[in-house]
Amino acid sequence: MQKRQLSATRTRLTLHAEPQIDAIYHTGVVVGGIEYFFGGGVQRCIAGQTPFGAPLRTVELGVTHIPKDVREELLADLSTRYKPQDYNLITKNCNHFSSAWAELLTGNPIPDEYVGQAQRILQSPIGQMLLPIMEQMEQQYGNVTAAGFQQPPTGGR
């Protein structure tokens, strides 16, 4: 039996707007001391040692009884739906991956506070003004690997 955790790090962003935006969260799922996250494809590294730094918050997601070999098969299948070129800060980001992976492992997605954050920001009055910044973040976060932030491919996505 392995305990599952959600590892959430954040980039501090404070705006005086509705809704209040305290942070833009990056999430990963910790299984057996390994943290899985999505950026330049599905990545894994020692828990708490992603390029995003140590988590500011962890959320217990439950336990899984799925054996490691079956988890690897599930992850391989999930990886076909989370390729580097699929990264989109609004519709297919690290939080969407974490939610899908957690749901496969425990039957429960991660809290909507994380999954829906980018969409909520975009729907806010200031959201459209933030869109260019979010697009720059998409280029950066869509190319992160366990080794760190990589240069975006030339010619766009």
Q: Which of 16, 65, 94, 96 is catalytic?
A: 94
**If DSSP codes are grouped into helix, strand and coil, which group holds residue 79?**
helix
- Tell me the pLDDT tens digit for each residue of 15-29: 455 556 666 788 999
Residue 45: active-site member: no
Please give the angle made by the CA atoms of 66, 55 and 73, to the nearest 5 degrees.
25
The residue written with tokens 């057996």 in the block is: 32
Dist CA 38 CA 107 (whole Å): 19
Domains along the chain with CATH numbers:
9-143 (3.90.1720.30)
- Tell me the pLDDT tens digit for each residue of 87-143: 888 889 999 999 999 999 999 999 988 998 888 878 877 777 777 777 777 777 766
Residue 26: active-site member: yes
19 cis-preceded (ω within 30 degrees of 0): yes
> Residue 13: which pLDDT band, with cuts at 50, 70 and 90?
very low
Dist CA 130 CA 72 (whole Å): 37
The residue written with tokens 């997601």 in the block is: 61
- Tell me the pLDDT tens digit for each residue of 59-92: 999 999 999 999 999 999 999 999 999 988 888 9
**Whole-model pTM above 0.85?**
no
